[in-house]
């Protein structure tokens, strides 16, 4: 592993907070992910940077050396970036927005809003089922933003140094044909689907550990799992050959219904990521705000789900939009 500036920021954050746990909170990372990253940094540098015990983390002699260099390098690099931005005029809004993602409930509305607000902007999209691939492309400068989702309390990998903002949290629902025996219910217990066959799209979704764990808690192991693209998933469900998990804002399809899973055993967190040292970072707040409004737009075809959000304020928007978002579904 090559040492990068983001690694030096991690070391400084741990030294300043005196704790890996507190540093993880400051950096917006999960504590195990930050611990693993620190271990990789220490292997690269050849020794431990901190002595850690119940009282916290204190720099070793090697740690003090690294901190001394980092406290010179980081401000110098920040100054270089600021001067370069002023010289190049990069402080203005970028003329392009390059988004990566797939099967996002808000991508189309996000692009539409940005295009309407900035008609001269060049907006492109790239499809990938892999969160890691999207993160690599953002880190490498080939994309500006990654729009993806994660299941439950998991977080995208910290290895790529991206900043992630949680846009919304939705319960995962089940997609059934109208002819299904449970289709007339408002919600369905996961255990009632124990005999079903399932279909899922490829990629990093809830059909990994989260779904298996939820089924285990419900007392069963899921049967055969088909893998298909979104169109194939819809066709298999429509044919009665399988049922599928789907997002709460899944666009209605004739002949199919979405139903809530009782007790919301699965949650889907919609995330927007960017590299903190890229030009895109300077307008990230604007893009996040636009994403929040796009999410609110996506609720319009789902009045029943919107009514459910009113009764369940722990779901829905996860950040405050300054304008345009529906306050009925906003959470702090």
Domains in the chain, CATH or no CATH each:
5-88 (1.10.10.10), 94-318 (3.40.190.290)
**pLDDT per position in the chain (332 positions), as tens?**
788 888 999 999 999 999 999 998 888 788 888 999 999 999 999 999 999 988 899 999 999 999 999 998 888 887 777 666 665 554 455 578 999 997 788 999 999 999 999 988 999 999 988 888 999 999 999 999 999 988 888 878 788 899 999 999 999 999 999 999 999 999 999 999 999 999 988 775 666 678 989 999 999 998 878 888 889 999 999 999 999 999 998 887 899 999 999 999 999 999 999 999 999 999 999 999 999 999 999 998 888 999 999 999 999 988 543 222 333 333 33
Kind plus residue range of the DSSP H or E element containing 88: helix 61-88
Tokens of 45: 């540098």
State the Cα torsion 126-129-133-138 to the nearest 10°.
40
Dist. CA 284–CA 289, nearest whole Å: 8
| CA–CA distance, 19 with 25 (Å, rounded to integer) | 10
Burial class (CB within 10 angstroms; exposed 0-12, middle 13-18, buried 19+) of 100: buried
- φ and ψ at 24, to 5 degrees? -60, -40
Is residue 146 within 8 Å of residue 272, measured between CB atoms?
Answer: yes
Supply the pLDDT for residue 104. 84
Q: Which string of DSSP letters, residue by residue, matches 47-66? A: S-SEEEETTEEEE-HHHHHH
Residue 50 is encoded by which pair of tokens?
């901190």
Summarize the chain as % helix, strand, coil (round to 5). 40, 20, 35
Tokens at 272, concatenated: 């927007």
**Per-residue model confidence (pLDDT) at position 205:** 63
Q: How far apart are CA 162 and CA 147, in angstroms?
A: 12
pLDDT of the residue at 97: 95
Q: Cα-Cα-Cα-Cα dihedral of 83, 146, 251, 303, to 10°?
A: -60
pLDDT for 98 equals 96
**For residues 237 and 199, is the Cβ–Cβ distance under 8 A?**
yes
Per-residue DSSP letter, 330: B
């Amino acid at each position: 592993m090559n040492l990068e500036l983001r690694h030096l920021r991690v070391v400084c954050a741990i030294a300043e907070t005196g704790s890996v746990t507190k540093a993880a909170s400051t950096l917006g990372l999960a504590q195990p992910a930050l611990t693993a990253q620190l271990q990789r940094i220490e292997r690269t540098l050849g020794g431990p940077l901190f002595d850690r015990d119940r009282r916290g983390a204190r720099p070793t002699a090697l740690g003090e050396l690294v901190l001394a260099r980092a406290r010179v390098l980081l401000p110098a690099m920040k100054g270089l970036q600021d001067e370069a931005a002023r010289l190049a005029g990069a402080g203005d809004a970028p003329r392009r927005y390059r988004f990566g993602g797939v099967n996002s409930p808000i991508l189309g509305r996000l692009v539409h809003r940005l295009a309407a607000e900035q008609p001269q902007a060049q907006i492109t999209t790239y499809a990938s089922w892999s969160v890691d691939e999207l993160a690599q492309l953002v880190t490498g400068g080939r994309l500006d933003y990654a729009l993806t989702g994660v299941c439950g309390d998991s977080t995208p990998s910290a290895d790529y140094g991206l900043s992630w903002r949680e846009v919304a949290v939705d319960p995962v629902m089940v997609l059934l044909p109208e002819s299904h025996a449970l289709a007339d219910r408002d919600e369905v217990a996961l255990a009632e689907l124990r005999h079903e066959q399932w279909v899922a799209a490829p990629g990093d979704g809830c059909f990994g550990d989260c779904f298996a764990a939820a089924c285990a808690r419900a007392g069963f192991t899921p049967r055969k799992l088909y893998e298909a693209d979104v169109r194939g998933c819809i066709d298999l469900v429509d044919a009665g050959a399988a049922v599928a998990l789907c997002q709460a804002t899944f666009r209605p399809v004739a002949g199919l219904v979405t139903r809530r899973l009782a007790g919301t055993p699965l949650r889907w967190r919609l995330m927007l990521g960017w590299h903190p040292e890229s030009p895109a970072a300077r307008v990230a707040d604007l893009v996040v705000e636009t994403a929040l409004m796009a999410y609110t737009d996506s609720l319009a075809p789902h009045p029943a789900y919107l009514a459910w959000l009113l009764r369940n304020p722990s779901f829905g928007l996860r950040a405050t939009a300054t304008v345009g978002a529906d306050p009925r579904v906003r959470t702090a």
